[in-house]
Amino acid sequence: MMLPILISILLTMGTVTDQWLPQETSHVISDSTSYWKGYTRYHFQLDNREAFVTAPNKAPDTKEWIWRARFPEWHTEMDEILLDKGIFIAYINTNNMFGSPRAMKVWDEFYIYMVNELGFEPKLSLEGVSRGGLFVFNWAKRHPWRVHSIYTEAPVCDFKSWPGGKGSGEGDRRSWEILKKEYGFQNDELAFSFDDNPMDNLESLALAKVPMLSMIGLNDQVVPPSENIYILNERYVKAGGSSTLIPCTRGEEELLGHHFTIETPELSAEFILSNINRSVLPLFSREFHRSEDGLGNSKIKFEREKQGTVAFLGGSITQNGGWRDSVCTYLQQRFPQTQFTFIPAGISSMGTTPGAFRLQRDILSKGPVDLLFVEAAVNDATNGRSKKEQIRGMEGIIRHTLKDNRAADIVVMHFVDPDKMETYNRGETPEVIANFNLVTAHYKLGTINLAKEVTDRINNGEFNWEEDFINLHPSPFGQSIYFHSMKSFLESQYTQVDENRKNIINHPFPETLDPYCYDGGRIIPFAEATETQGFEHITNWSPPNNTATRKGYTHVDMLVGKHPGDSFTLHFEGKAVGIMVAAGPDAGMIEINIDGGQTRTIDLFTLWSSQLYLPWYYTLTSELEPGPHILKVEILNDRNENSVGTSCIIKSFYVNE
């Protein structure tokens, strides 16, 4: 294949290697040049589609570009100004595709070609005229961090209005039939119920702070603004985005007001230029991802068997949804024929130790898992779990999952909090993340380091903690950052799977890092306690005085002891044993004895017990020889100086078999 003129000339200006995009080979099959309004235009074909790049006469230091959608010869005054300022104009012909998902794939390929092979800047400006709005808004919603700004003229923002004609405009019957076929709609009803037009689902675009400017005609009867840009504008502003409308009221109007004179092309050009100059080039999420054994098994399972189970294990950042719900939606869209079972197993305050012991009950008991997301870095650090506990807990989760299904794909995520940001800014790696990385590297698992990504993006000036991310429980903006990084990871992993691969392959199952890791974790009911003295089985227990607690710790049965001397015995088998308690304001101290050995005192009062009955997993011992053992527990007369009682409120026991 002959190297196109376009590549040979543009490569002399330098290239940008975009490491977070999949590498593509050139699909260019022809090229030529022409002159357009005094500028050189380079023509080529990409996958048999006409495309061109118009170049400024003076080669700039960087290859900034604006991408036109449809009608490249209409109202070109702004384009000429931008060319004079050193901005390239790009175009690919996707006529009669109306911004459809198929069109977006073409756009994705064109973007990859422009950036990876021609060395254009990874962040660009978008320009959409009339139905071009369907393209620019839809693509920007897919890739908000790649967009400096969006400029439109009389944009279509809802295809029900045009070409559908479901409103005050007449629509276009021929275009409507083509659009329905392009989107795969079998009838008008399905098309009219579509809920992802440009005016829909604008939150991520607004959170990325992509500014918009639209020139409109107030008398436009073809694409009525009241059914299109007015609605998009209102929704975008309410979502926190910046959007400006400029009515064009001077000059001639044609085609029922849809064609009008652009009064101030200089203003439009300045809008594009100012947002290029003020934009910070975003960091790429792939820089914070580590992939080892890949996610090929889940892709094959989802595509071949058309069903899959995806589980989410973690603390409150997982329990609260946001990114989790977005990942579920992404998977459903990525594999539209697949019937998914999603298992949300996030519980506030939980880290790896609770995760390892409740894994069987909350996830594995529901059947084999094909894809597991795990997060625990925030809680393991704030809860003060030791290095040994962190490694044993994370390895226990991974190993237990793989014992249940050797083909399970597992992704470990490290979420951000202020302490981790401070540590990274000192040039160090947070201990808990380093510990988890030891485990994930041992089992060749992928990781998404959102703690480092958020820290570096803030340092890069893309957003800030106080106003944008706000808290370790992320704002909607922060949830969007999390999701887009996860989506980038998943898309990269699934794209890299060899198309010729047909078989599911077992993941590595090496020797344990720690022989006492919690890979046999299991929860056992408190009813197995014997020789109970003073402890009572309380049915439908709830915290007294409306004190707060966590999910699953109210209106449940509990084994409750309140007085010094209350005791019980537990016969169990395994290498570890612990108690799941509700540690509230009245939490006391207990004395434990295992197999008649040395007694030990456990203070059940936590740093947070004054505010709530906190679910807490106390591992009483973890390095026993396998086999039967006897645990004796007694409430002491002593108590923490901050406690108001001597209670021991047990939800369950747990063992590592």
Q: Which of 431, 463, 496 is where one domain is finished?
A: 496
Verify that 207 and 291 share a domain, yes or no.
no
pLDDT range class, residue 452, cuts 50, 70, 90: very high
511 falls within a domain: no
Q: Which residue has the higher pLDDT, 551 or 295?
A: 295
Verify that 74 and 201 share a domain, yes or no.
yes
- Give the range among 67-76, 230-239, 251-260, 306-315 with minimum mean pLDDT: 251-260
Note down the domain range covering 54: 5-278
504 falls within a domain: no
| Helix locations, 162-283, DSSP H | 173-183, 188-192, 203-207, 229-238, 265-278
> What is the domain-level CATH number for residue 378?
3.40.50.1110
423 falls within a domain: yes
Q: Which of 244, 278, 312 is where one domain is finished?
A: 278
223 falls within a domain: yes
Q: Give the integer Cα–Cα distance in Å for 54 and 399.
A: 56
Tell me the torsion sign for CA atoms 551, 554, 555, 559. Answer: positive
Verify that 136 and 212 share a domain, yes or no.
yes
Listed ranges 57-66, 281-290, 297-306; the one with the highest mean pLDDT: 297-306
pTM of the complete model beyond 0.75 = no
Q: Which of 463, 496, 529 is where one domain is finished?
A: 496
Number of independent structural domains in the chain: 3
> What is the domain-level CATH number for residue 157?
3.40.50.1820
pLDDT tens profile 171-216: 999 999 999 999 999 999 999 999 999 999 998 898 888 999 999 9
217 falls within a domain: yes
pLDDT tens profile 522-540: 999 999 999 999 999 999 9
Verify that 370 and 422 share a domain, yes or no.
yes
> What is the domain-level CATH number for residue 631?
2.60.120.260
516 falls within a domain: no
Verify that 364 and 420 share a domain, yes or no.
yes
pLDDT at 479: 87
CA atoms within 13 A on the CB side of 152: 32
Whether residue 57 has pLDDT greater than 80: yes
**In whole angstroms, how far apart are CA 601 and each of 203, 259, 494, 583, 640?**
52, 82, 51, 16, 12
Mean pLDDT of the chain: 90
Verify that 131 and 271 share a domain, yes or no.
yes
Cis preceding linkage at 163, omega within 30: yes
Verify that 529 and 437 share a domain, yes or no.
no
Verify that 38 and 179 share a domain, yes or no.
yes
pLDDT at 277: 73
Residue given tokens 């104009």 in the structure block: 89
pLDDT at 262: 86
pLDDT at 290: 93
Tell me the torsion sign for CA atoms 254, 127, 488, 464. Answer: negative
Verify that 481 and 601 share a domain, yes or no.
no
Mean predicted confidence (pLDDT) in 398-417: 97
pLDDT range class, residue 282, cuts 50, 70, 90: low
H or E, element range at 423: helix 418-425
Q: Give the integer Cα–Cα distance in Å for 512 and 524.
A: 25
Listed ranges 48-52, 311-315, 331-335; the one with the highest mean pLDDT: 311-315
274 falls within a domain: yes
pLDDT at 249: 87
Kindly give, in sequence order, each residue whose CB lies less than 8 Å from that of residue 499, ignoring residues fewer than 6 positions away: none
Verify that 164 and 216 share a domain, yes or no.
yes
pLDDT at 456: 94
| SS3 of residue 127 by DSSP | strand
Verify that 195 and 303 share a domain, yes or no.
no
pLDDT range class, residue 59, cuts 50, 70, 90: low
Report the first-to-last Cα separation within the chain, whole angstroms: 62
Verify that 591 and 458 share a domain, yes or no.
no
Whether residue 220 has pLDDT greater than 70: yes
514 falls within a domain: no
